Amino acid sequence: MTAIDRLQSTFARIATLDEAAAMLGWDAAAMMPPGGAQARGEQMATLAGLSHELLTAPALADDLAAATSPADPWAAQNLALMREAHTRATALPRDLVEASARAGSACETIWRTARAASDFAAVRPALAEVFNLARQSAEILGAALGLSPYDALMAQYQRGIRAADVAPLFADYTLFLQKALPLAEEIQNRRSHESLPPGPYAVDLQQALCARLSAAAGLNFASARLDRSAHPFCGGTPTDIRITTRYDESDPLSAITGVLHETGHGLYEQNLPAAWRRQPVGQAAGMAVHESQSLIIEMQAVRADEFLAHLAPVLAKAFHKPITQGALAHRLRHVARSFIRVEADELTYPAHVLLRFRLEQALLSGALPVADLPEAWNEGFHALLGITPPDDAQGCLQDIHWYDGAIGYFPSYTLGAMAAAQLFAAARKALPALGAHLAAGDLSPLVSWLAQHVHSQASSLGFNELLLATTGEKLNPAAFQAHLESRYLTQ
Amino acid sequence: MTAIDRLQSTFARIATLDEAAAMLGWDAAAMMPPGGAQARGEQMATLAGLSHELLTAPALADDLAAATSPADPWAAQNLALMREAHTRATALPRDLVEASARAGSACETIWRTARAASDFAAVRPALAEVFNLARQSAEILGAALGLSPYDALMAQYQRGIRAADVAPLFADYTLFLQKALPLAEEIQNRRSHESLPPGPYAVDLQQALCARLSAAAGLNFASARLDRSAHPFCGGTPTDIRITTRYDESDPLSAITGVLHETGHGLYEQNLPAAWRRQPVGQAAGMAVHESQSLIIEMQAVRADEFLAHLAPVLAKAFHKPITQGALAHRLRHVARSFIRVEADELTYPAHVLLRFRLEQALLSGALPVADLPEAWNEGFHALLGITPPDDAQGCLQDIHWYDGAIGYFPSYTLGAMAAAQLFAAARKALPALGAHLAAGDLSPLVSWLAQHVHSQASSLGFNELLLATTGEKLNPAAFQAHLESRYLTQ
């Protein structure tokens, strides 16, 4: 066995452990009775600990040092990703890793109460400690990886794009939004307001329809399940996708769009290249690319006029109610200034992310003291959307991310939305009949195109490399803005 | 940290990995889509491999050698069980372990086809190889543990009783059955035959009733679930029990008695001592003791006259059908000579086990060549039950156990049935109002007694030690025979 063989075998073992953890994570959210929670936490910790031990074993370091870069570009990228994973796992002192885990866990617990009481002061010291430790980690990781501290954190979630690349795109969006939002509101007010028929929409009908739409979108249910959980997600492994949703009897579109969003994630995983299964290069390319694949289904394809024209009679038949395309469009493309990110429409959603992107960099560098966060949040929010959160629960306390130690994650949402629009525009060009396919409810040409150009590329390319290869240019928010203009700013 | 501390920590880690595997095993049977099977097999193999590596690490052997037996009897027994587990894991050469795993897996695959075609010759060479390798393993394990080869295998499933203890009890049962079976049949023929009302019995009603009866029997559903699978079982972990069943629209009693059987297993796990969780001494005492806990619920308590009197109106109300105690008794206590073990009644079931117990010892020692198995099976079966299997599918091909390499398991079923009767007789003595409790549908006094005398003892005592401590004597089949006499042989 060569060093490369041994490395591939060990990384496959680590990935197999991670798969076990992914299944247990799904079970915890979708199946587990409450009494199982403590033991499940211990099971997950044991799996993570063994995974970490395998990744940091001295023999693996020796093999990484001995391995020479293979000629095959995928194999070479695989080795590079192994080195990066090993560097990340070994760069940080154990004390710092454990202190960070403890601080994140403690802060998250306090945050749950603090958010409910809208009491930022209660969680402030814990959050300061989270950022304090994250700063130390980010500096060490950045030095080891040749990245700025913030980029070192951001790259945990999405490789191949840096804060310096993101900042001008987001600044541009700020300017766009200042003009676009009032105009979209004005146009929206002038449009007719068709409503969905009142509920109830029976949950079993919703469930059957969601499964049918997901399968029609291409998810292979011989290797997937659809279940319920408090928060929708896509978990599992490439050959055993577990998507979840929640159902609201008064509103079927929440589950339907949620399931189609998760279906986009699931399709990405199902179409990853089997030949590189369980190798670093065979994994999805990152959170932003993943989000682009859920949003291209949910936002670009499903909310397109053509698909809504198909969907309206499907829903009408399933629920035996007069559901029109106009009502779907009104419900699914409603723009509103709101305080909560996860409830935002696609036009204002980036504003929520822009604010967080700016603030988390300032918090990480120390330029913004944690104590000043609520004020900075509220001012920044007002500048972007013209409204001020009435309390911190609807402001800087709303998201778990920072309180749980996830810093550098937020940009992925908007990078994904922008990439989805750019990819969809490229798909429209490459597939002249795409509109007709959507009108027939047929997503398969789009999904095949994505499988070929995105899914099957796995982690062989970073974020901007992938867009360049697929669309001819790096991330360019023009496609996203053109999409928004056509959907919201056209009379 | 002392050697004992380190050992307890490592064994807890191993048990935590085994818990993860238990959850994934449940998922594979109850939830997993077919496409997930291959990856799941690899996940399970990786967990088993890591568990084995932890158990066979040189540092653990050093700690076992250095540890001095603690004064506390549970801690001392825990150390003894650690030593036994380590001996089992290290005694066998790696080649032999791998060859056995391959042989069992290959033989099981061939067996599935051979059973369907009732073609013993097709699987004969593979089965011969399984027994050949099992013989080698049993000799090595027996030498390492100071047991006969067969006892070394049997002790994998149940410690604390040997083939030499079992043989006279089973011989005694053979004599008992020769008289009892014709008499039971004669009495049964003279009894009135009340039938259950015809179905369908709606599956959702069955499911709700099964969950209610299981909860009423004491299973804590804050730490348990009830789901469906092709073969009923009890899986999961002590704080996260997963029981499964299957439903037959024409017969609600199959699911009900199945769920109450699995509930008995689940109660045992839920009542194991939390203080010794994840330590060898804190685990259930073995398969025979486990089976005694399922059978004491399913066979002793639930099929008792008093409980059936309670159950009949409960079923009648749940299904809106005229279900009488007489019909339940007729359906649940029907004696019949039959070829298939898993369908046998409690009087003839031991005959199926006696035959396998005798034959597997002869196959293991080599006294019975594998080629002669079908003839020996059919002759032995006829001697016990007076009927001859029409083909090998209904004879020596019916059970997966041997073909999968599980040798020494079968006695546990009947040891469990005998122990259940002995424990139930002791409970009747200790709880004078037990009959009245059963008549009120209240199993909690029985379950509390079992929790105190059996469940909470975990693996601190072997099979016969446990019975001695709880009932005043080692396994004595008199209670089982008295139970059968009272239920089947009384006019």
DSSP code per residue over B172-201 = HHHHHHHHHHHHHHHHHHHS----PPP---
Residues of B in contact with A47 (CB under 8 A): 17, 20
Of B68, B90, B120, the one marking the end of a domain is B68
Rg of chain A over Cα atoms, rounded to whole angstroms, equals 23
Q: What is the pLDDT of residue B192?
A: 81
User: What does the DSSP 8-state code read for residue B400?
Assistant: S
Per the structure block, which two tokens stand in for B311?
Answer: 């159950």
Residues of A in contact with B239 (CB under 8 A): 35-36, 38-39
User: Could you give the C-alpha distances from A61 to A48, A53, A365, B316, in angstroms and in order?
Assistant: 19, 12, 32, 68
In angstroms, the CA A77 to CA A73 distance is 6
Nearest Cα neighbor of A128 from A355, A361, A354, A364 is A364
Distance from CA of B273 to the nearest CA of A (A): 15
pLDDT digits (tens, 9 = 90+) for A159-210: 999 999 999 999 999 999 999 999 999 999 998 889 999 999 999 999 999 9
Q: Under an 8 A CB cutoff, do A222 and B27 touch?
A: no
Which of B31, B35, B239 has its CB closest to that of A36?
Answer: B239
**Considering the domain boundaries, does residue B121 fall inside one?**
no
Q: What is the pLDDT of residue B491?
A: 74
pLDDT digits (tens, 9 = 90+) for A398-412: 999 999 999 999 999
User: Could you give the C-alpha distances from A367 to A153, A363, A376, B96, in angstroms and in order?
Assistant: 17, 6, 12, 64
Q: Is B57 in the A-facing interface, judged by CB distances under 8 Å?
A: no
pLDDT digits (tens, 9 = 90+) for B382-410: 999 999 999 999 999 999 999 999 999 99
Q: Is B263 in the A-facing interface, judged by CB distances under 8 Å?
A: no
Nearest Cα neighbor of B87 from B68, B109, B105, B64 is B64
The pLDDT > 70 percentage for chain B reads 100
User: Is B225 in a helix, a strand, or coil?
Assistant: strand
Of B68, B95, B117, the one marking the end of a domain is B68
**Considering the domain boundaries, does residue A18 fall inside one?**
no
**Considering the domain boundaries, does residue A392 fall inside one?**
yes
What mean pLDDT do residues A399-428 have? Answer: 97
DSSP-based helix, strand, coil % in chain A, nearest 5: 70, 5, 25
User: Is B61 in a helix, a strand, or coil?
Assistant: helix
Long-range contacts of B51-54 (CB under 8 A, 24+ apart): B51/B14, B51/B17, B51/B18, B51/B21, B52/B89, B54/B10, B54/B13, B54/B14, B54/B17
ipTM above 0.90, yes or no: yes
Q: Cβ distance B206 to B224 under 8 Å?
A: no
Q: What is the pLDDT of residue B193?
A: 85
Residues B405 and B299 in one domain: yes
Q: Which residue has the tokens 């810093």?
A: A407
Q: Under an 8 A CB cutoff, do A34 and B237 touch?
A: no
In angstroms, the CA A43 to CA A486 distance is 49
Q: Cβ distance A475 to A422 under 8 Å?
A: yes
Q: Number of helices (H) and strands (E), helices first, in chain A?
A: 20, 3
Torsion of CA A470, A474, A480, A481, to 10 degrees: -140
What mean pLDDT do residues B441-469 have? Answer: 97
Residues B319 and B213 in one domain: yes
**Considering the domain boundaries, does residue B113 fall inside one?**
no
Q: Is A33 in the B-facing interface, judged by CB distances under 8 Å?
A: yes
Q: Is B50 in the A-facing interface, judged by CB distances under 8 Å?
A: yes
In angstroms, the CA A234 to CA A262 distance is 5
User: What does the DSSP 8-state code read for residue B299?
Assistant: I
Residues of A in contact with B33 (CB under 8 A): 221-225, 240
Q: Is B33 in the A-facing interface, judged by CB distances under 8 Å?
A: yes
In angstroms, the CA A177 to CA B361 distance is 81
Q: Under an 8 A CB cutoff, do B19 and A223 touch?
A: no
Q: Is B13 in the A-facing interface, judged by CB distances under 8 Å?
A: yes
Residues B356 and B239 in one domain: yes
**pLDDT tier at A417, thresholds 50, 70, 90:** very high
Who's near B259: CB < 8 A, 6+ residues apart? Answer: B210, B211, B213, B214, B226, B232, B243, B245
Task: Please report how many Cα atoms fall inside a 13 Å half-sphere around the Cα of residue A397, on the Cβ side.
Answer: 25
Q: What is the DSSP string of A149-173?
A: HHHHHHHHHB-S--HHHHHHHHHHH
pLDDT digits (tens, 9 = 90+) for B316-374: 999 999 999 999 999 999 999 999 999 999 999 999 999 999 999 999 999 999 999 99
Who's near A304: CB < 8 A, 6+ residues apart? Answer: A435, A438
Q: Is B53 in the A-facing interface, judged by CB distances under 8 Å?
A: no
In angstroms, the CA A297 to CA A285 distance is 18
Q: Cβ distance A255 to A248 under 8 Å?
A: yes
Q: Under an 8 A CB cutoff, do A19 and B43 touch?
A: yes
Rg of chain B over Cα atoms, rounded to whole angstroms, equals 23
Nearest residue of B to residue A236 by CA position? B36
**Considering the domain boundaries, does residue A259 fall inside one?**
yes
Strand A234-237 and strand A240-245: the pairing is antiparallel
Rounded to the nearest 10 degrees, the angle between the axes of helix B325-332 and helix B252-270 is 80
Q: Cβ distance A48 to A42 under 8 Å?
A: no
Nearest residue of B to residue A225 by CA position? B33
User: Is B365 in a helix, a strand, or coil?
Assistant: helix
Handedness of CA A311, A316, A319, A321 (dihedral sign): positive
Q: Is A229 in the B-facing interface, judged by CB distances under 8 Å?
A: no
Mean pLDDT of chain A: 97
Nearest residue of A to residue B47 by CA position? A17
Q: What is the pLDDT of residue B66?
A: 96
User: Could you give the C-alpha distances from B269 to A92, B90, B219, B236, B289, in angstroms and in order?
Assistant: 41, 28, 10, 9, 12
In angstroms, the CA A288 to CA A294 distance is 10
Who's near A384: CB < 8 A, 6+ residues apart? Answer: A174, A177, A351, A354, A355
In angstroms, the CA A432 to CA A443 distance is 14
Burial class (CB in 10 A: 0-12, 13-18, 19+), B113: exposed
Interface residue of B10, B26, B42 to substitute, partner A, most A CBs within 10 Å: B42
Q: Under an 8 A CB cutoff, do A239 and B16 touch?
A: no
Distance from CA of A207 to the nearest CA of B (A): 17
Q: Under an 8 A CB cutoff, do A220 and B16 touch?
A: no
Q: Under an 8 A CB cutoff, do A20 and B16 touch?
A: no
Q: Under an 8 A CB cutoff, do B46 and A237 touch?
A: no
E strands, A99-237, in order = 224-228, 234-237
Interface residue of B14, B17, B26, B31 to substitute, partner A, most A CBs within 10 Å: B31
Q: Is A19 in the B-facing interface, judged by CB distances under 8 Å?
A: yes
Q: Is B175 in the A-facing interface, judged by CB distances under 8 Å?
A: no
Per the structure block, which two tokens stand in for B140?
Answer: 């090595």
Handedness of CA A478, A479, A480, A482 (dihedral sign): positive
Q: Under an 8 A CB cutoff, do B20 and A46 touch?
A: yes
Q: Tell me which of A101-105, A244-248, A344-348, B212-216 is least confident.
A: A101-105
Nearest Cα neighbor of A211 from A236, A229, A228, A197 is A228
Q: Which domain holds residue A228?
A: 103-491
Residues B335 and B450 in one domain: yes
Q: Under an 8 A CB cutoff, do B24 and A19 touch?
A: no
Distance from CA of A43 to the nearest CA of B (A): 6
Q: Under an 8 A CB cutoff, do A33 and B223 touch?
A: yes
Burial class (CB in 10 A: 0-12, 13-18, 19+), A310: middle
**Is residue A491 pLDDT above 80, yes or no?**
no
Residues B59 and B170 in one domain: no
Nearest Cα neighbor of A265 from A245, A307, A224, A295 is A295
A99-109 burial string, b = 16+ CB within 10 Å, else e? bbeebbeebbe
For chain B, what is the domain count? 2
Beta bridge partners of B237: B240
User: What does the DSSP 8-state code read for residue A396?
Assistant: T
Which of B33, B224, B240 has its CB closest to that of A224?
Answer: B33
Q: What is the pLDDT of residue A28?
A: 95
Nearest Cα neighbor of B245 from B229, B260, B224, B225 is B229
**Is residue A274 pLDDT above 80, yes or no?**
yes
Of B68, B93, B126, the one marking the end of a domain is B68
Question: Does the predicted model carry a pTM greater than 0.90?
Answer: yes
Catalogue the active-site residues of A: 262
Q: Cβ distance A29 to A229 under 8 Å?
A: yes
Annotated catalytic residue within B19, B129, B262, B269: B262
Q: Is A220 in the B-facing interface, judged by CB distances under 8 Å?
A: yes
pLDDT digits (tens, 9 = 90+) for A448-461: 999 999 999 999 99
Q: What is the DSSP string of B302-347?
A: TTSHHHHHHHHHHHHHHHTS---HHHHHHHHT-----S-GGG--TT
Per the structure block, which two tokens stand in for B205?
Answer: 């009603």
Which of B16, B224, B225 has its CB closest to that of A43?
Answer: B16
User: Is B443 in a helix, a strand, or coil?
Assistant: coil
CATH number of the domain to which B247 belongs: 1.10.1370.30
Interface residue of A9, A46, A225, A226 to substitute, partner B, most B CBs within 10 Å: A46
Distance from CA of A42 to the nearest CA of B (A): 7
User: Is A347 in a helix, a strand, or coil?
Assistant: coil
**Considering the domain boundaries, does residue A28 fall inside one?**
no
User: Is B49 in a helix, a strand, or coil?
Assistant: helix
What mean pLDDT do residues B147-152 have? Answer: 98
**Is residue A443 pLDDT above 80, yes or no?**
yes
Which of B36, B43, B221 has its CB closest to that of A16?
Answer: B43
Q: What is the DSSP string of A276-332?
A: GTTSGGGS--BHHHHHHHHHIIIIIITTSHHHHHHHHHHHHHHHTS---HHHHHHHH
Which of A24, A34, A42 has its CB closest to that of B222?
Answer: A34
In angstroms, the CA B208 to CA A127 distance is 46
Per the structure block, which two tokens stand in for B122?
Answer: 């097709």
**Considering the domain boundaries, does residue A440 fall inside one?**
yes
**pLDDT tier at B265, thresholds 50, 70, 90:** very high
**pLDDT tier at A260, thresholds 50, 70, 90:** very high
**Considering the domain boundaries, does residue B76 fall inside one?**
no
Q: Is A215 in the B-facing interface, judged by CB distances under 8 Å?
A: no
Per the structure block, which two tokens stand in for B29?
Answer: 């049977």
Q: Under an 8 A CB cutoff, do B39 and A224 touch?
A: no
In angstroms, the CA B240 to CA B217 distance is 17
Q: Is A24 in the B-facing interface, judged by CB distances under 8 Å?
A: yes
pLDDT digits (tens, 9 = 90+) for A121-140: 999 999 999 999 999 999 99
